[in-house]
Amino acid sequence: MSRLTELPRIGLTAAPTPLQPAPRLSRKLGAEIWFKRDDLTGTGLGGNKVRALEYLVADALARGSDCLVTGAGTQSNWAMLAALAARRCGLDPYLVYYGSPCEPTGNHALAELIGADIRFTGSAQRVSVDTTIDELADQLATAGRRPYRLPRGGATALGACGYVRASLELAAQLLAADLSPEMVWLATGSCGTQAGLLAGARLLGTPYRVTGVTVSRPAAECAERVAALTTQVTEVLAIPPTAADSGDVVIVDGYGGPGYGLPSGAGDDAARLVARTEGIFLDPVFGAKSMAALIDAARQGRIAGPVVFLVSGGAPTLVSMSGRQS
């Protein structure tokens, strides 16, 4: 069917993650909402990055690497989970954070618990991480190590295969639940998750639209990245192109709030509503903002059929971002 099953993969995910109805939230919004619980992927405190790491760490091992080098911001779920996955497989984790040393909380505190070798770029620019990852990996190689380097977010074609696999998992659950959603709704950051879901939708010919809410970059840049990554994934997996509408890139803009990594008022309201109706936590950086967008779409009558909302993780940032009140 595709090359997916031939790729090396290590089992980090307690799959399938649950697909659950959200009856009280659905009644409030006047739209049928289901949750795909990828906050329960089963490594660390869960999250979507675990699915990407199944393929990425397997590739590192297949290439004979002995350490993993990646990075992001101190509250990055990606960086912490990459370090954790590295430990699960006996690789030494190296993390590059932008900015300057600060009091560790949330993901940063967990990365220290894991014993990751942490470096700061000293620059407030996110892109400073990219060059420092390369410099550090080069230094390690010169010192005789065999580093495996990964970009911020793990958004590579191979990492995105995690959500092609998740699409197959979801397809079986939709069949069992006799559910045909209009949309799969998610938060988009580095774009790998949306690209994997789109490639998966193409592979399966599913009729749902994959709708990403951008939380960290302008919509146009996001759409370009998703499209390019989706093409790369379909090439890696030899998925033939289709004319299906499900292949279209849909990005919702306007819910970033004060900026990437910072909680927004609308997001906090959305997270509160979901916690109080369904007993599920949405993280402030991704889940809360994408739910705020879904709530608006539902209230404005723009949702015609059932929606599967991807709960994508981020539990460590729930407790590291203080100052929010009920």
Supply the minimum distance, in Å, between the C-beta of residue 140 and ligand PLP. 25
State how far Cα 229 lies from the chain centre: 14
Residue of 2, 26, 76, 128 with catalytic role = 76
Q: Name the segment binding ligand PLP (CB under 6 A); options: 21-29, 45-53, 59-67, 240-248.
A: 45-53
Our CB check for ligand PLP shows the closer of 1 and 319 to be 319
The mark string for 169-208 relative to ligand PLP (x by CB under 6 A, - otherwise) is ------------------xxxxxxxx--------------
H-type alpha helices, the chain? 23-29, 49-62, 77-88, 106-114, 128-142, 157-177, 192-204, 219-236, 265-278, 287-299, 315-320
Q: Is the Cβ–Cβ distance between 242 and 271 less than 8 Å?
A: no
> What radius of gyration do the chain's Cα atoms show?
19
- Side-chain half-sphere CA neighbours of 254 within 13 A: 6
Q: Name the segment binding ligand PLP (CB under 6 A); options: 173-181, 251-259, 270-278, 311-319.
A: 311-319
Q: What angle do CA 30, 34, 35 make, to 5 degrees?
A: 135
Our CB check for ligand PLP shows the closer of 47 and 200 to be 47
Q: Name the segment binding ligand PLP (CB under 6 A); options: 122-130, 137-145, 166-174, 306-314.
A: 306-314
76 is an active site residue: yes
Does residue number 252 form part of the binding site for ligand PLP (CB under 6 A)?
no
Task: Name the nearest CA neighbour of 206 among 96, 58, 305, 324.
Answer: 305
Which residues carry out catalysis? 76
Residue ranges binding ligand PLP (CB under 6 A): 47-49, 77-78, 153, 155, 187-194, 283, 286, 312-314
